[in-house]
Chains A and B, each alone.
Chain A
């Protein structure tokens, strides 16, 4: 039940961002799907390892892979699907907490949180790029073998 609610919420959050970023109307649903899937993976991995850095990496990886698949299927730029999907993973809460500690002149508390926010955003970026490289290798391999000629 918890997972279902979280999935629905992240689906609608990504959908909302699709509207804000003016995504093509027919693709809004898919934007939501990408966002929901990425968040669920993040949530699940975070529950296993309690390490938001790894979880963010895998979440972003999922988002990017799905975005590439949708992009190939609908012949649209992948950015349409990935942008809205990545938003829930952005470490807004960590950055906010770091900021709050700085404002309260509690610099020692702020530094570890800020470093974690930095690591998480790095992990998201790595996830995006790794997925892209792998997908490109995969498509090259598939095309070379002629198994799936589009």
Chain B
């Protein structure tokens, strides 16, 4: 293939990989690193990429135009990160040709490999139960915590699907957690309201955001670090406000 055409495809490839990784919740430095490696494997020497949680600016060097790609949705999908990592590794070592890699990335974009929803729900409810016991709650409160965690997770997924506003979804979900915990205690199915709520809220906690935000800050990616930190803070605030609202009626 002619040199420039191949390079155009390589640039497309870099941008697609970068966007997918950012949407799946990868660390900023990993996205930049992956894009630059993929570009260097195809003789694009002077590349610069500037990755933020809401958009990627990628400059592939003199004959090519600088490109900007917008990132509209953000979620956590570790499987996707692992598969893109695999594709880029194979592209750099030469196991995949450029076309193959591009096809693979498009497939990853189209086909979603996720656990079925009922299993995720079960995992969330189950994790809530575990957390209740980890935080020295009593076995008697286990059903209440499992119920609260499950209710919270259903609400956050459904509301997020309908409204697309993460902040609102988290708020409503933590309202649901606190309400169901409160009702369980009210009807004598639980004792320690505090522990049940803490357990039930755990699946909503923005763990990935917090860790990524700090790592980005320490690695010198201040823009992404601060914006991820802001997102984590908003989420935590939404959860706290939801719980607080119910507690204030007690």
Contacts and interface: CB of A to CB of B under 8 A. Distances in A.
A21 interface: yes
A46 to B, nearest CB: 12
A79 B78 contact: yes
Contact of A128 (B82, B211, B243): B211
B244 A92 contact: no
Contacts of A23: 78-79
Given A88-B131, A90-B205, A99 B120 contact: no
Contact of A100 (B114, B115, B194): B194
Contacts of A76: 82, 85
Interface residues of B, number: 48
Nearest to B77: A22
Contact of B78 (A13, A80, A90, A95): A80
A128 B194 contact: no
A5 B130 CA distance: 10
A75 B244 CA distance: 43
Given A21-B76, A121-B210, A79 B27 contact: yes
B53 interface: no
B214 A103 contact: no
B20 to A, nearest CB: 13
**The 6 residue pairs across chains A and B that have the minimum distance between CB atoms:** A16-B127, A125-B214, A13-B130, A19-B123, A16-B123, A103-B244
Interface of B: 26-27, 30, 76-82, 85, 89, 113-115, 119-120, 123-124, 126-127, 130-131, 133-135, 153, 194, 197-198, 201-203, 205, 207-208, 210-212, 214-215, 218, 236, 240, 243-244, 247-248
18 contacts: A18-B123, A19-B115, A22-B80, A24-B79, A25-B79, A76-B85, A77-B30, A79-B26, A83-B76, A83-B78, A83-B208, A87-B207, A90-B202, A90-B205, A92-B131, A92-B135, A100-B243, A128-B211
Interface of A: 5-6, 9-10, 12-13, 15-25, 27, 39, 75-77, 79-80, 82-83, 86-88, 90, 92-93, 95-97, 99-100, 102-104, 121, 124-125, 128-129, 132
